[in-house]
Structure 1
């Protein structure tokens, strides 16, 4: 039996011990999505899963991205099917964002795909000093639930009752008692978004219909002073990800 299956059974038992409805417990499990978390350790001399900060490695004919460089993800280092998203099997995905820019929505140029074997060179981007560079080889997978607020809206509609929010919060508490919180990480790939103020996947659906999903989340480092406990999300339609249409990405910046 897989760890996820074992933990799901433990969650069912925990929810039952709290007299939570079995049908809502199953709905909570069905809504959870697989995610990969990257960070928490350097990769000296090893092959990094991701590189954060510094200057991006870009092909010569790629236009200058509009925002500072955040991270480069090695797609080949993602375990097959680990996120449930149609990621390319090789190449690098480069993420860009300006934490001081609180605009939400379409962000053409802020995600750049570099196919494997492309000739690249380090290139400064913009006037801001690069973020602290870190290469990390540490990653782990886990199943992540929706935030209880987002689950409530998806389950019971845009105007749910207070008792629905309370039930979802109890389900979330039971889940966290079994699974705990994700340990230290810098970059999340796939899964559900951290909701501090607003759910960016819900927001994207309201602006532009489609099967939106979280592409990645960056948890801002110590050299970001513009945000208090800030995160940056990039969301994309699944069909656009499969077609490598990263010009259609939306970016959302949030803070506690």
Structure 2
């Protein structure tokens, strides 16, 4: 879907609900690009990764089966220059997070970049370690809109007022989010307030801006009905340096 199609779909939905043009413009100014990776190529998705299975890691990367392997992304296959932050041009990005804890976790998340051509072998953890049977992931670009609780909204009083008064988040159908098992970039979606929200004052104090690198949701191992919502974040300066050892994150757990 092109940017214009996406924006016009949002604009048409908001207009039908009587939202004034100035409020619609406020919402669309906040739109951020996002790449969704899901299990089908419906709608022109490009094969760009794999969900589950076992990770292929270089020999110098320690991994004993935890945090759990979530997915890998083929950087060379992703749509080019879509996101508002840089990613490696080649190699694999591997995402790990806690897939077992119904209490959630604050630090059990990691990202590993395996450059193209680097020696790597599929790593088999100890017997009994849970994992998901692998399946392919197909990438599509889309636009991401914040929820009314996101830092991009609440940091400015007037934006917060307009966003909530006109229920602006309700006009984002976010179909690509429902189809995706892994999302790169954009805004965080979770059953609670978005994690790792920072205001401009926070950025000044700690000397950097957090960027939401990726997010995923999945059924927790051994906990039927429980869903884990994982996020991976980085300071922008670390991301621009491609230093994925600095990735941070955590998991929120939710039960319907």
Q: Does TM-score exceed 0.5, indicating one fold? A: yes
The structural deviation recorded for 1:127 is 6.5
Instruction: Answer yes or no: is the 8 Å Cα contact 2:57–2:114 preserved in 1.
Output: yes
SS at match of 2:27: helix
Match of 2:236 in 1: 238
1:64, 1:187 → 2: CA distance?
21
- The question of whether the paired residues in 2 share the 8 Å contact of 1:190 and 1:215 is answered with yes
Hey, what does 2:209 align to over in structure 1?
211
Alignment of 1:214-229 (within 5 A): 214-221=212-219, 223=221, 225=223, 228-229=226-227
Distance 1:92 1:172 in 2: 33
**C-alpha distance in structure 2 between counterparts of 1:33 and 1:218, whole Å:** 17
Residues 12-50 of structure 1, C-alpha deviation per residue, up to 9 Å, x if partnerless?
A: 3443443434333222112111111112239xxxx9521
Q: Matches of residues 4-15 of structure 1 in structure 2 within 5 Å?
A: 4-15=3-14
Secondary structure at the aligned position of 2:131 is classed as: coil
User: Counterpart of 1:234 in 2: which secondary structure?
Assistant: strand
SS at match of 1:61: coil
- Residue 103 (str. 1) matches residue 98 (str. 2): no
Aligned 8 A contact 1:53 1:130 in 2: no
Residue 100 of structure 1 contacts residue 226 of structure 1 at CA under 8 Å; is this kept in 2?
no
1:26 matched to 2:28 = no
In 2: Cα distance, 1:209 partner to 1:62 partner? 29
Partner SS, residue 51 of structure 1: strand
Q: In the alignment, is the contact (CA less than 8 A) between 2:34 and 2:186 conserved in 1?
A: yes
Q: How far 1:223 moved relative to its partner?
A: 4.4
What is the CA-CA distance between 1:192 and the residue it aligns to?
Answer: 1.0
Query: 2:251 & 2:115 partners in 1: Cα distance?
Result: 27
Q: Spell out, residue by residue over 1:134-169, the C-alpha distance to the aligned partner (whole angstroms, 9 max, x if none).
A: 2314221110101122153133289x6xx556325x
- Larger CA deviation: 185-194 vs 203-212: 203-212
Name the CA shift for 1:135/1:228 in 2 (closer, same or farther; >3 Å).
same
Per the alignment, residue 85 of structure 2 pairs with 85
Cα deviation digits, residues 85-125 of structure 1 (max 9, x gap): 20000011111111335232585xx1111111001111124
Where does the alignment leave 5 or more consecutive residues of structure 2 unmatched? none
For 2:49 and 2:222, locate their aligned partners in 1 and report how far apart those are by CA, in whole Å: 19
Q: TM-score, normalised by structure 2?
A: 0.80
Describe the shift of the 1:153–1:128 C-alpha distance in structure 2 as closer, same or farther (beyond 3 A). farther
1:122 corresponding residue in structure 2: 122
**Structure 1 residues without counterparts, runs of 5 or longer:** none
Q: Say what the alpha-carbon RMSD is for the aligned residues.
A: 3.1
Equivalent residue number for residue 131 of structure 1: 131
Q: Which structure dedicates a bigger proportion of its chain to strand?
A: 2
User: Which residue of 163, 170, 177 corresponds with 1:173?
Assistant: 170
For residues 195-220 of structure 1, what are the alpha-carbon distances to aligned partners after superposition, in whole Å with 9 as ceiling and x for unaligned? 32131230695895522121111221
Which of 136-145 and 198-207 deviates more? 198-207
2:249 maps to which of 239, 248, 251: 251
Distance in 2 between residues matched to 1:208 and 1:226, nearest whole Å: 39
3-state SS, counterpart of residue 146 of structure 2: coil
Residues of 2 paired with 1:166 and 1:36: CA distance? 26
